Structure 1
Amino acid sequence: MTALTSSPTRTPHRTYSRWASLVVLCAGALMTILDGTIVTVAMPAMQTDLGFSGAGLAWVVNAYLIPFGGLLLLAGRLGDLLGRKRMFTAGIAVFTVASVLCGLATSRGLLVAARALQGVGGAMASAVVLGMLVALFPEPREQARAIAVFSAVGAGGATLGTFLGGALTQALSWHWIFLINLPIGVVAWLAAVRVLSPEPGAGIRDGADYPGAALVTGALMLTVYVIVGSGDRGRTATLLQAALALALFVAFAVRQTRTERPLLRPRLFRSRLLTGANAVQILMVATMYGFQFIGALYIQRVLGFGELATGLAFLPAPVVIGVLMMTLSARTVGRFGAYPVLLTGLVLIAGGMALLSRARADGSYATDVLPPMLLLAAGFAAAMPPLTGLAMSGAPEEDAGLASGLFNTTQVVGGSLGLAALSTLAASRTGTLLARGAELVPATAEGYRLAFRVATGIAVAALVLAGAMLRPRNR
């Protein structure tokens, strides 16, 4: 009787704390998400300042992606064991310190090393966010709203990074794309310590599989390395490294079936929703990264936009994503269900990529870029929240951190795979046409069109896979 009468007085405080915690989680995640794209427009300035070669410049991105993608799964599991708040706050601290080192870098080696440290901090903070979010909002309708807010911040932040990178580089210098993280990181860390509720983990002795952790971390890092660096090495070296990564994955899988305390419990993959959602995400994110990076290159190299103008050209995407996710996503999922909303989003993404594949050498932003950009943004806004909800619904609460790390891992792998494959295709096609005597701009445009056509096929494959694996089963 006492519990029933006292409950209403405690509910407002708990509700406020949960939504305040969501703001903190979004702020922390936003830093790591922005950093994945903010360097894109600033890379030519870094190359001029520090004397990077063309191949060396790619490591400004690769040095971040490899530890980030490789450590997400391990960080997610350690969050379950040590406490997710502890892992999140430690990650924010490491990321902030590494950002300052990046901003102060005066040599190529220091910048690349600091970017790798950023990747470590980013993995620590990002891996546990979805697990904390699901624990904060167990009720389905509120959880859908929270996931929509988080997804809006993530998707909008990725595109906003392009704008901020151009604006800060042009107004100040490329150093400030990293130094801006210092005040944000300090505020986010202080807020996390104060607002987030402590979550005691299961304990490091309960489930710590150190050999398994070494195998899977090495396999993931090598996989991301193979993907992002495939254009810089010969076919033989790439195949050998891919074979070694596969062997490490096999050894890890065998160990997980035999050890008493597996890092990644095989039972997770018995969930059709979790497995299917992660597979769909790889294809969907590969498509969106094609738009994000190849689209920026098309705007700069074919349409002739400058750094700031390119950033401004991408602003409609985060606006559309943010508005749709915040106002419609949770409502549509609640009314129609996650499955049909996800399929609708994937149809819009495929349609947007198909339109983008018609972009011409003498095209314009208003006719060739903006309409498909709006379709892609609307499709991503519709697809990402239900896909996230389906993935996390397939994991038990005690494995929420691990499932969160897995979902973030497939996002990085999908993005890296899409970027490497599509940029290689575009460069190869452009090179072939130039060798035949074509002019630079038409040849470049045709290379990008080929990449967009392949991305359209990837989006269609994601739609087919989602239709097959994520369809609700009749009770």
Structure 2
Amino acid sequence: MDSSLASKSPVISDCDVKVVIRRPTPSNARRYTLLLIFCITQFLYTLTNSALFSAIPFLVRKFGFTHSQSIWIISAYQLTFASFLLMSGKISDIYSPKYTFITGKFILGVISIGLGFVSNGILFLTLRALSGIAASLTIPSALALLVGLFPEPRHQAVAIAAFGAWGAIGIVLGLITGALFVEYVSWSWIFWFVSTVIIPTTLISAVLIPSQTKNVKSGCTKFRSLDITGISILTVAVILFIFAVTTGSITGWGSATTLAPLVIAIAMIAVFFFWEALQPIECAAVPSSTWSIPNFSVLFGTALLPYFWWANIFTTYVSLWQDVYKWSAMSSAVHMLPIGITAFVFSFTNRIKGLSGMSAKWPILCGALMMMSALVLFAFADRPDKYWPLVFPGFIIGSAGAMLANISANIAIFRATPPSMAGTVGAIFNCGLQLGSAVGLAAVSSIQASVQDRNGGPSNYEGQSAGFWFMLACISVAALAVLVFYHTDPAQNRVEGSVVCDGK
């Protein structure tokens, strides 16, 4: 076999399975076209979610949602997306990242068309949940494809950085896009716009993505190596956990609808790790040895921070500016632009000479310090006229820090794990991002609401300030953990290998 077209993994004695992976070498034009498609896909997913913030008031009136129901316009997607990431990553690793990616994109495109025509609130939320499942199929598979298309570390780092950057830009530009559609056309075009881009790029992807066939003994072997039991336990646990922290800020942390799913989720997570410990390493959904990979646990913890920062800043200021200061949706979106622009610029810091070879520990710590500095500025920005002296520089400093930590951790976690686990690792990392956002939003909004109730309502800045100080404390603890537990041994830069099991 021509070595330029294929590589052969070693025989795994424990599983007695020989794995052959054919990897055609695509041209640079093909690789970078695919990178652009992956980035656009990531951009559209985050854009769709953030664009709905501008449409929430209209959707509440159209569907007759209560305040507690309206939160599910955003959370229904976030809940299923985060919950099915691990299963999607495992499917991508065992079967084919190409067909996993294409399937997820196509389904999402079709659902997006349907969402624009919905006139029933329950059906709308159901389709939002299904679109989260479809989107979860694409992110781990896209990352697995990126790792395969760009095996050289320097180029791989640039590709991963670009992928993350377009997601951050989509968060902010989604506000502007949503405001434009809601004010001048219709909220339905938020979804129709996505489908008009997703479906054609799906067809292009089907042609351009090279096949990466993993041959094992049988279809049964592939199915059994998915560890359906373990993945199902964790998926249900994540669903219950996110449901609990989301409803906690609405119904109260002492309510049965919060405590019951929270306790069950924690118990199921414990059962999951016990189950995984009983499985052979090569058969587990998330092998226990994964957490012993150098710095893997610390990097997963770091993944909780970026979206924790962005999501809370985003929701806090959109609510403050529109509900209290009475700014228009378009004005609020424009004032958010520094976050997206800065995130895009700092997504390529890994290309700066000297930083590319540096341990991820120091950029992560630098990013955490920048996020913390921004939060101090926000805590004192209690009037509209403090946007330029405090909020604007805080947006730049904090967003730069969040992107620096995000990209550094993302690149480092792929360098520390085997390429054969790229889909699963991408799923774990992105699950961390989503958990940071979901749990952080619930905790911060709960703190803000309780302080505001005691201090005259949302117009009193004490609630927002308390939320920012809480965020500062959380990021400080995370930074301390990185400082203490992150090891910088250069010899442990990457673990090579590939493992597949026949389920015996």
TM-score computed with the length of structure 2 as normaliser: 0.87
2:345 corresponds, among 323, 328, 334, to: 323
Between Structure 1 and Structure 2, which shows a larger proportion of helix residues?
1
> Does 2:438 correspond to 1:416?
yes
C-alpha deviation, 1:420, in angstroms? 0.8
> Does 2:177 correspond to 1:167?
no
CA 1:342/1:377 → structure 2, altered by over 3 Å: closer, same or farther?
Answer: same
Q: Deviations over 1:261-280 (max 9, x none)?
A: 22222221111322111111
Residue in 1 that maps onto 2:480: 464
> Does 2:375 correspond to 1:353?
yes
Tell me the distance in 2 between the aligned counterparts of 1:97 and 1:24.
18
C-alpha deviation, 1:459, in angstroms? 2.1
1:400 corresponds, among 422, 430, 433, to: 422
Residue in 1 that maps onto 2:16: none
Tell me the distance in 2 between the aligned counterparts of 1:272 and 1:350.
26
Aligned AA (1:294): T
C-alpha deviation, 1:35, in angstroms? 2.4
1:217 corresponds, among 228, 235, 239, to: 235
C-alpha deviation, 1:245, in angstroms? 0.7
C-alpha deviation, 1:46, in angstroms? 0.9
CA 1:285/1:362 → structure 2, altered by over 3 Å: closer, same or farther?
Answer: closer
> Does 2:318 correspond to 1:296?
yes
> Does 2:267 correspond to 1:251?
no
Paired residues of 2:306 and 2:406 also in contact (CA < 8 A): no
2:105 corresponds, among 89, 92, 96, to: 92
What does 1:192-231 correspond to in 2, within 5 Å?
192-201=205-214, 205-206=221-222, 207-231=225-249
Residue in 2 that maps onto 1:453: 469
How many aligned positions are there? 461
Aligned AA (1:179): W
> Does 2:443 correspond to 1:425?
no
Residue in 2 that maps onto 1:177: 190
Aligned AA (1:246): I
What does 1:100-179 correspond to in 2, within 5 Å?
100-179=113-192
Q: Report the identity percentage.
A: 22
Q: Which moved more, 1:405-414 or 1:37-46?
A: 37-46
Q: Which moved more, 1:402-411 or 1:335-344?
A: 335-344
> Does 2:473 correspond to 1:473?
no
Q: Deviations over 1:51-101 (max 9, x none)?
A: 111111111112111111110001000111111111111110111112122
Aligned AA (1:254): F
> Does 2:251 correspond to 1:233?
yes
Q: Deviations over 1:233-253 (max 9, x none)?
A: 351422221111112112222
Aligned AA (1:453): W
Residue in 2 that maps onto 1:272: 294
What does 1:331-342 correspond to in 2, within 5 Å?
331-332=352-353, 333-334=355-356, 336-342=358-364
Other structure's SS at 2:84 match: helix
C-alpha deviation, 1:364, in angstroms? 3.8
Structure 1 runs not aligned, ≥5 long: 5-10, 435-439
Paired residues of 2:78 and 2:132 also in contact (CA < 8 A): yes
Paired residues of 2:45 and 2:170 also in contact (CA < 8 A): no
> Does 2:61 correspond to 1:39?
no
Paired residues of 1:303 and 1:364 also in contact (CA < 8 A): no
TM-score computed with the length of structure 1 as normaliser: 0.92
Residue in 2 that maps onto 1:305: 327
C-alpha deviation, 1:202, in angstroms? 5.8
What does 1:182-193 correspond to in 2, within 5 Å?
182-193=195-206
C-alpha deviation, 1:309, in angstroms? 0.9
C-alpha deviation, 1:3, in angstroms? 8.5
Aligned AA (2:331): A
Structure 2 runs not aligned, ≥5 long: 5-23, 492-504
Tell me the distance in 2 between the aligned counterparts of 1:381 and 1:392.
17
Tell me the distance in 2 between the aligned counterparts of 1:145 and 1:62.
31
Residue in 1 that maps onto 2:8: none
Aligned AA (2:352): R
Q: Which moved more, 1:224-233 or 1:177-186?
A: 224-233
Aligned AA (1:367): P
CA 1:272/1:295 → structure 2, altered by over 3 Å: closer, same or farther?
Answer: farther
Residue in 1 that maps onto 2:500: none
Tell me the distance in 1 between the aligned counterparts of 2:31 and 2:384.
51
Tell me the distance in 1 between the aligned counterparts of 2:295 and 2:121.
43
Structure 1 outlier segments of 4+, above 3 Å: 201-204, 361-364
Tell me the distance in 2 between the aligned counterparts of 1:95 and 1:138.
29
2:87 corresponds, among 61, 67, 74, to: 74
Aligned AA (1:313): H
Tell me the distance in 2 between the aligned counterparts of 1:196 and 1:368.
46
Tell me the distance in 1 between the aligned counterparts of 2:63 and 2:214.
44
Q: Which moved more, 1:71-80 or 1:157-166?
A: 157-166
